[in-house]
Chain A
Amino acid sequence: MQDYQRYIRNFSIIAHIDHGKSTLADRLIESTGTVAHRDMKEQFLDNMELERERGITIKLQTTRLVYNAKDGSEYILNLIDTPGHVDFNYEVSRSLAACEGAVLVVDATQGVEAQTLANVYLALDEDLEIVPVINKMDLASARPQETKDEIEEVIGIEAQDAPLISAKEGINIDQVLEAIVAKVPAPSGDPESPLKALIFDSYYDNYKGVVIYTRVFDGSVKAGDTILLMNTKKTYEVTEVGVNAPYQTPVSELSAGSVGYICASIKQVKDARVGDTVTLASAPAAEKLPGYKRVQPMVYCGIYPTPDEKYENVKDCLEKLQVNDAAFQFEPETSQALGYGFRCGFLGLLHMEIIVERLEREFDLEIITTSPSVIYKVVNHDGSETMIENPSNLPNPTEYDHIEEPMVKATIMTPKDYVGSIMALCQDRRGSMNHMEYITENRVALHYDMPLNEVIYDFFDALKSKTRGYASLDYEFDRYQRSNLVKLDILLNREQVDAFSMIVHESKAYARGRFVCEKLKEVIPMHQFEVPIQASIGQKVIARETVKAYRKDVLAKCYGGDISRKKKLLEKQKEGKKRMRQFGTVEVPQEAFTAVLKYDDEK
């Protein structure tokens, strides 16, 4: 170990969602004086407005803290924040790979949850030292001893001396800092060896181009070096290296053991993928760091401009988002109902919701999103396979041999009282149980095989409501499995609207068809004629509703305040005619497309 490395600690904070990860990060930053208290916004590391509002971390961030420890020495603590949600597991695993230790935050009122476990396993995979911390001690319902025992029993790590803290109230934060210094190993690595640095995050900055967040394992890097990205095999000249303290501060070089950023005039985030290895073009490392993979979208949906929005506008914004988010993919597609738009791929449902919300809020776009869908594998008669990302592209049943759908391994952790209702829910969602284990006397882990398509509708919401928020969920892709799937079509005034088509399990088709018809009936406005809403499989109609007709042939009342509004209504009807051609004869409001997404269990 080099002498300077003795005073560096690289660590992450891991936790189940809502256990207080971001709040603890804030307190660490604040108590080391890295950010003056008056500049402190809540959840300092969650930069995006959306992140702060939703209380979640989407993009990870890194901060360098300078801490004067009780042993009298000054330590550099590199905090690498991780996203908390299962959609971003790969990013979590890569940022953990940049650390030697992880602070495990467990809520003293909730105990160990599914994502606690999932994150701990990820950390153990990277051989990290786990520093347990018991949070929310300010709450009356805190049960620290039970929580410690649970950590020891379930995770198998020593937890009796875990700091008991309240990140919210700022209690015992210094104990966390001391534990990090004492328990997390200092980094090693040879500054004289060829450069080997891991990209654990990257984002696009308008002025600097792509900014790479990196952990240097061997060697060193400075401005003027020509770097080689070992997976993409592209070379760039470094324009700046620096650290986040917490604002970007250039430094002369980053050497083995350090965490910081590199700018090298890279144009797109996809050219500097998370997990790639940075080395020097002049003296490359013999082999790259392990663990790199290309991320594959799991969930797809269509994004279309509304009639008032320009296609090119939407395209520009999607491109801008993609520059910043390598996991987000899109390509052009056409819908009979919605015209020209894009099929977009996401890591999961949360990722999708975030992107859609950013398009609407940051870019002020008016868009229509279609039902999310997973990727189905159609096996043709000759044995060849076609991947279907858009339900309306599913061929006729006679044209293929069978369909396969993606399955996930789901882990649900819950107090034992809810096991019955969770089992009923999972069965309803076509899950099959692999095994169940008691992790403590009161808490159970249920391991299920489930179709991803059942998880992406509101499984998580249903789980939360059935367990009053106590159950937690984690899942990962497992395999494709043959399944009895059918295409459910929706017809408005007897014309099929392709944007509503979805692929569902045969056993679910009736319920889903009925549900969509009822939802559409709620949102479709009155027309001059009756609008039948039908759900069908092939030629067979399985559900039907009707929106009543109302003749608007005469405007009886028209006075001062009304004139422009009423005239506009009339003109809108005229424009509506143009749009109506696209929807057959029925005008479908934008909200119809989101209304059918929310699957209500009561129905």
Chain B
Amino acid sequence: MGKEKLGIYIHVPYCVRKCNYCDFFSQTFSRAERSPAEYFRCLVSDIETAGTIWRGRFEVDSVFFGGGTPSAVEPELLCGALDELGHAFHITEDAEISLEANPGTISRKSLEAYRAAGFNRISVGVQSLDDGVLRIMGRIHSADEGLEALKLAKSVFPSVNADLMIGTPGQTLDIWLEGLKRVLNEEPQHLSFYSLQLEEGTPFYEEYRTGKLELPAWEENREMYHRGLELIKSAGYRHYEISNAAKPGYECRHNLKYWTMRPYLGLGRTAHSFIDGVRFAEKPAPGPEDAAEDRDSLRGDFIFTQLRLIEGLDEGFYEELFGSSFISDFASPLWELFAQDLLFRPSPGRVAFTEKGLDLTNPVMQRLLEEL
């Protein structure tokens, strides 16, 4: 009997320095509520607890150490936690085991240590290959260091992602495309290209709101996105999520779980889990206060996540989960959105964003969520 598959996310809330745009929970070492060593002791104990609760039912086919900056803490801590995961759970042979790394915090030695411990995929926060742009963002590394890190990662790991950003202050279309080409030359197996989001509470948000920070116009941001995509696709990558592309077979298994309503367990501060329709956070298992989402909320989640896939939302899976037809449940907004050329049916049983729709994903999703 095959067990169900589970993804595990481990949050590492430490950074050398907070970037000006980031609102993920993370702390600089000098201001942390507890030391990394102590944090990982708690984490390991949560892993043990989670193992006793879930290992009977699940086997683990993806592990993701995110942050924060996982590579900013001692490699022994990450490797130790991964080791503990191996004891507490059954991790499958082919499991994808990723960590996020900042170019300013890695060396060949540390990468080899991660690889030896069992990590087989690394995501490198290159972000930009322009020093001016990097400086404004508050990154701790230079463009050269970013590229170096990518090369190093490629030489140690079988699967490498490069994280890039578009629409950031000081960035132009030329800067973006030129940087992207240099990244493509290194042939990472996976690319993420995020349009900058201004999140409340970040320095960028306040500076922009009060007129102290200039951003590329929205139209320019979109041009960066579409022109970048053309380059990426022509280099042999498959565009599979709004902001992600991969060489065939290298799609991020872990992240796909988020977008396809598969179960995942998040451990550590602010880490979220989703199992049996229940969302819970910062604990190994749901408590009595964590009720399963109601049907409408889950239908909302389904649309909100599955539409992010370029191949589109899976109507058959919708019917399987909710016992009704997606097309008839959302008939009236769907016909509107089809007519406006924002959504279409790329293949039977799928509804997806058109190229035009990819620039208006929020209003489209809002329109659908209104139906609930």
Binding site for B on A (CB under 8 A): 521-522, 525-526, 546-548, 550-561, 563-564, 566-567, 570-571, 573-574
Residues on A with beta carbons closer than 8 Å to the beta carbon of B270 = 561
Assign chain B's interface to a size class.
35 or more
**Distance between Cα atoms of A593 and B272 in the complex (Å):** 35
Answer yes or no: B322 CB below 8 A from chain A CBs: no
Residues in B with CB closer than 8 Å to A573 are: 362, 366
- Cβ-defined partner of A554 (8 Å) among B11, B271, B273, B360: B360
The answer on a CB contact under 8 Å between A555 and B197 is yes
B310 to chain A, nearest CB (A): 14
With A559-B258, A567-B300, A570-B369 as known contacts, state yes or no: A551 contacts B218, CB within 8 Å. Answer: yes
Shortest beta-carbon distance, A373 to chain B, in Å? 30
Q: Is the CB of A550 within 8 A of B208?
A: yes
Whether the pair B361, A563 counts as a contact (CB closer than 8 A) is no
A560 with B264: CB separation less than 8 A: yes
Which 7 A-B pairs rank lowest in CB-CB distance, beginning with the nearest?
Answer: A556-B195, A556-B194, A561-B272, A551-B218, A567-B304, A554-B361, A556-B243
Q: Is the CB of A552 within 8 A of B362?
A: yes
Report B's interface with A, CB cutoff 8 A: 9, 11, 24, 66, 194-198, 200, 205, 208-211, 215, 218, 242-243, 255, 258-259, 264, 266, 270-274, 279, 281, 300-301, 304-305, 308, 358-363, 365-366, 369-370
Considering the chains assembled together, what is the distance between the CA atoms of A98 and B359 in angstroms?
76
Q: How far is the CA of A167 from the CA of B274 in the complex (A)?
A: 60
Q: Is the interface of B mostly helix, strand, loop or mixed?
A: mixed
Known: A548-B208, A548-B211, A553-B363. A564 touches B272 (CB 8 A): yes
B205: chain A residues at CB < 8 Å are 526
Q: Closest CB-CB distance, A581 to chain B, in whole Å?
A: 15
Query: Is the beta-carbon distance between A563 and B243 smaller than 8 angstroms?
Result: no
Q: Which A residues lie within 8 Å of B259 (CB)?
A: 558
Minimum distance in angstroms from A21 CB to a CB of chain B:
42
Cβ contacts under 8 Å, A558 to chain B: 258-259, 304-305, 308
How far, in whole Å, are A567 and B365 apart by their CA atoms in the complex? 9
Partner of B195, one of A521, A522, A554, A567: A554
Complex CA–CA separation, A568 to B209 (angstroms): 22
Contact A570 B365 (CB under 8 A): yes
Among the interface residues A522, A525, A557, A566, which one has the most CB atoms of the partner chain B within 10 A?
A557
A522: chain B residues within 8 A (beta carbon)? 210
- With contacts A521-B210, A567-B304 known, is A555 near B362, CB below 8 A? yes
Tell me, rounded to whole Å, the shortest Cβ–Cβ distance linking A557 to chain B: 5
Q: Give min CB distance, B4 to chain A, whole Å.
A: 17
- Give me 23 A-to-B residue pairs in the complex whose CB atoms sit less than 8 angstroms apart, sorted by A's number: A522-B210, A526-B209, A547-B209, A548-B211, A550-B215, A553-B359, A553-B361, A554-B242, A554-B358, A554-B361, A556-B194, A556-B197, A559-B255, A561-B266, A561-B272, A561-B281, A563-B279, A563-B301, A564-B279, A567-B300, A570-B362, A570-B369, A574-B366
Contact status of A557 and B209, CB under 8 A, knowing A563-B258, A574-B369, A574-B370:
no
Task: Specify the chain A residue showing the minimal Cβ separation from B372.
Answer: A571
Given A521-B210, A557-B194, A561-B24, 10 further pairs, Cβ under 8 A: A526-B209, A555-B361, A555-B362, A556-B242, A556-B243, A558-B308, A560-B274, A563-B279, A564-B272, A574-B369
B144–chain A nearest beta-carbon distance, Å:
26
Q: Cβ of A548: which chain B residues have Cβ within 8 Å of it?
A: 208-211
- The distance in angstroms between the C-alpha atoms of A567 and B270, with both chains bound, is 17
CA of A548 to CA of B207, assembled, Å: 10
B335–chain A nearest beta-carbon distance, Å: 20
B residues near A546, Cβ cutoff 8 Å: 211
Min CB distance A388 to B, Å, is 36
The reply to whether A557 and B243 contact each other, CB–CB distance below 8 Å, is: yes
With a cutoff of 8 Å between Cβ atoms, the chain A residues found around residue B272 in the complex are 560-561, 563-564
Which residues on A sit within 8 Å (CB–CB) of B304?
A: 558, 563, 566-567, 570
Contacts of B24 in A (CB 8 A): 561
A525 touches B209 (CB 8 A): yes
A526 to B202, CA, bound (A): 13
Q: State how many angstroms separate the Cβ of B65 from the closest Cβ of chain A.
A: 13
Question: A553–B305 contact, CB under 8 A?
Answer: no
A26 CA to B27 CA in the complex, in Å? 47
Bound complex: CA of A573 vs CA of B367, how far in Å? 11
Contact A563 B305 (CB under 8 A): yes
Q: In the assembled complex, which residues on chain A have CB atoms less than 8 Å from the CB atom of B208?
A: 526, 548, 550
Known contacts A521-B210, A548-B208, A556-B243; decide if A526 and B198 are in contact (CB<8 Å): yes
> Which residues does chain B contribute within 8 Å of A571, judged by CB atoms?
300, 366, 369
Choose among A525, A550, A554, A561 the residue that contacts B362 (Cβ–Cβ < 8 A): A554
Residues of B within 8 A of A550 (CB): 198, 208-209, 215
B residues near A570, Cβ cutoff 8 Å: 304, 362, 365-366, 369
CB neighbours (8 Å) of A566 from chain B are: 304
Q: Which of A525, A556, A561 contacts B200 (CB 8 A)?
A: A525
- Could you tell me the distance between the alpha carbons of A550 and B194 in the complex, rounded to whole angstroms? 16
Whole-angstrom CA separation of A550 from B361 in the bound complex: 15
Most buried by A among B208, B271, B272: B272
What is the minimal beta-carbon distance from A371 to any residue of chain B, in angstroms? 24
Shortest Cβ distance from A546 into chain B, in angstroms?
Answer: 8
**Taking CB as reference atom, which chain A residue is nearest B66?**
A559
- In the assembled complex, the CB of B23 is this many whole angstroms from the nearest CB of chain A, namely 10
B131 to chain A, nearest CB (A): 23
Residue from A550, A555, A556 having most chain B Cβ neighbours under 10 A: A556
Interfacial chain B residues near A556, Cβ < 8 Å = 194-197, 242-243
B147 to chain A, nearest CB (A): 23
Contacts of B215 in A (CB 8 A): 550
Per the bound structure, the CA–CA distance linking A552 and B200 in Å amounts to: 13
A174 CB to nearest B CB, Å: 51
C-alpha gap A556/B164 in the complex (Å): 12
Cα distance, A490 to B52, chains bound together (Å): 61
How far is it, in angstroms, between the C-alpha of A559 and the C-alpha of B197 when the chains are bound? 14
Q: Is the CB of A560 within 8 A of B258?
A: yes
Output the least CB separation between A260 and chain B (Å): 50
How far apart are the CA atoms of A554 and B24 in the complex, in Å? 18
Closest to B257 in A: A560
- Please measure, in the bound complex, the distance between the C-alpha atom of A547 and the C-alpha atom of B264, giving whole angstroms: 40
- Chain B contacts of A567 at CB under 8 A? 300-301, 304, 369
Contact A557 B266 (CB under 8 A): no
